[in-house]
Amino acid sequence: MHIVDGALSTPVLIGGGIAAVGGLALGLRALSLEKIPAAGVLSATFFVAALIHVPIGPSSVHLIMNGLAGLVLGWAAFPALFVGLLLQAVFFGFGGITVLGVNTVNIALPAVLVGLLLRRGARGADRRVAALSGLLAGALAILLTALMVALVLWLSGNEFIPAAKLVVLAHLPVAVIEGLICAAAVILINRVKPELFSALVPPAPQVALR
């Protein structure tokens, strides 16, 4: 899922970089002290999960766990996933520096979107609704990431269209696996540390009584 240096056109790289800066700015504003431990854990989870990848043609498949990051962190998923991508590029050569902005947007923006859509259900008292929300979040985040990778490849040249199609098809089974893992993680979080979800919800305003 990591796009490598030299694969994308300059306009796509610039657009991705600008979008990543905007996402990081919003993410850092949302990264409260309470979220920093969770952000560190989820960044490390992404870092390790993405190291175990299976090459498929010009691409590769691996777990990302960005759906869970979006449910727990919201916009703060941007800096958490950015750090993981940066370390992978520097130490292992996964992705690259010039494509860091595009890779960040491709992985973090779907995380934020599924968090906005499904966080309420994931933190609910009904275990079945929470599990379903986690399943959808994990699967949808992967599918959106694959589609965004395919889109930026297509925008960079028609010669990348076969690779773009392969990226989407190869990640269909990964979406199922991520969905199941995310559902299990949501159930576990609700059981042992439900405040991970409630920390993202601003406290209700207090009405002063006179």
Residue 65 belongs to domain with CATH number: 1.10.1760.20
pTM of the model: 0.86
The pLDDT, as a whole number, for residue 204 is 42
Residue pair 97/89 in contact by the 8 Å Cβ criterion? yes
User: How large is the C-alpha radius of gyration of the chain?
Assistant: 17
Domain count, the chain: 1
Domain encompassing residue 112? 10-198
pLDDT, average across residues 43-58: 75
Beta strands in the chain (DSSP E): 53-56, 59-62
Integer Cα distance of 94 and 98 in angstroms? 12
Give a yes or no: residue 205 inside a domain: no
Name the most confidently modeled range: 32-41, 50-59, 191-200: 32-41
Residue pair 69/46 in contact by the 8 Å Cβ criterion? yes
pLDDT value at 60 more than 50: yes
Give a yes or no: residue 206 inside a domain: no
Give a yes or no: residue 143 inside a domain: yes
Residue pair 38/73 in contact by the 8 Å Cβ criterion? yes
Residue 60, strand partner residues = 55
Residue type, 19: A
Give a yes or no: residue 72 inside a domain: yes
The pLDDT, as a whole number, for residue 167 is 83
pLDDT, average across residues 9-16: 93
Give a yes or no: residue 208 inside a domain: no
pLDDT value at 59 more than 80: no
pLDDT value at 23 more than 80: yes
3-class state of residue 71 by DSSP: helix
Give a yes or no: residue 132 inside a domain: yes
Residue pair 69/116 in contact by the 8 Å Cβ criterion? no
Give a yes or no: residue 139 inside a domain: yes
Give a yes or no: residue 204 inside a domain: no
The pLDDT, as a whole number, for residue 201 is 46
The pLDDT, as a whole number, for residue 151 is 93
For a pLDDT cut of 90, what percent of the chain falls above it? 51
Name the most confidently modeled range: 2-6, 59-63, 139-143: 139-143
